[in-house]
Amino acid sequence: MKLIKKILRTIKSDRLLLAGCIGICILLFIVVAAPLITEYDAKLFGPDALVAPGDPAHPLGTNHLGQDIWSMLIYGTRTSLMVAVVASFISALLGIIIGGIAGFFGGWADRIISELINVFLMIPTLFLVLLIVAMFGSSILNIMIVIGLTSWPSNAKLMRAQALSLRERTFVKSAQAMGENRRQILMKYIIPNGVFPVVANTTVGMANAILLEASLSFLGLGDPTVISWGQMVYDGKQYLTSAWWIAAFGGVAICLTLLIFYMTGDGLNHVLNPKHGKAGE
């Protein structure tokens, strides 16, 4: 109970974090309650094609295949959040482990990993993702894995910096003196105490994952079997002059979701930054 109160107090202490958390709660509610929010199946091809917004049966209109835009927005939320969570989890896990090893062990391991990070940072992420997706297919699973495997370097750099600092702390030196091996120290002391900047960065990484998936869909490399906001923009670009709503509402949903995650990440970065005092005070 005390932990929950402390978390709530921390969230309330920063307006950006509070607004971001409220937005994430709304998104999660949409994901869970999607069948209750809309009566149409987003994949159903209806008889009413290119219906303009304002129609009683289709408040946001329909696309060229008769699919309800409102339903596509609702079910597209599931796709976007799934991509964000899975890709960011892979990115965070790799970044924490690789960065922690580099910073704590140092020496040749640090040199090799640092050069590997620099190589990944020099390669344009979108180009690398396009190349891999073109080679191995554009299923939603492949897209999530590829985004996660190409976005870990920023997390690794943050974790490496934390590990370099933490390995000189008194409690780590004490653990070494007591005979604990390096693996135990890394897992028990370095990673748990250095993971906070990575958490904030991962939240921003969720927004980047959503944007990257939407970019792939817009370029025609998304998974055509799933409903996504990027796919809506791709389908609607040829109807911009006659049926603007097909692409417009998907684009607005992407922008609002990115804003939510950026606010959350910014807020977390603020409250977890020791320069701004202890969170919740």
CATH number of the domain enclosing 86: 1.10.3720.10
In a domain, 54, yes or no: no
At 280 the pLDDT is 40
In a domain, 86, yes or no: yes
In a domain, 50, yes or no: no
In a domain, 177, yes or no: yes
Identify the domain containing residue 115 by its residue range.
Answer: 2-43+59-276
Which residues in the chain come in under a pLDDT of 50?
277-281
How far, in Å, CA of 139 to CA of 226, rounded? 9
Phi, psi of 217 (to 5 degrees): -65, -40
In a domain, 49, yes or no: no
Phi, psi of 68 (to 5 degrees): -75, 125
Domain count, the chain: 1
At 68 the pLDDT is 92
In a domain, 200, yes or no: yes
Give the burial class of 4: count Cβ atoms within 10 A of its Cβ; 0-12 exposed, 13-18 middle, 19 or more buried. exposed
Helix, strand, coil percentages in the chain from 3-state DSSP, rounded to 5: 75, 0, 25
In a domain, 250, yes or no: yes
Whether this prediction's pTM lies above 0.85 is answered by yes
At 42 the pLDDT is 87
In a domain, 223, yes or no: yes
At 276 the pLDDT is 53
Instruction: Report pLDDT digits (tens) over 52-105.
Output: 998 888 899 999 888 999 999 999 999 999 999 999 999 999 999 999 999 998
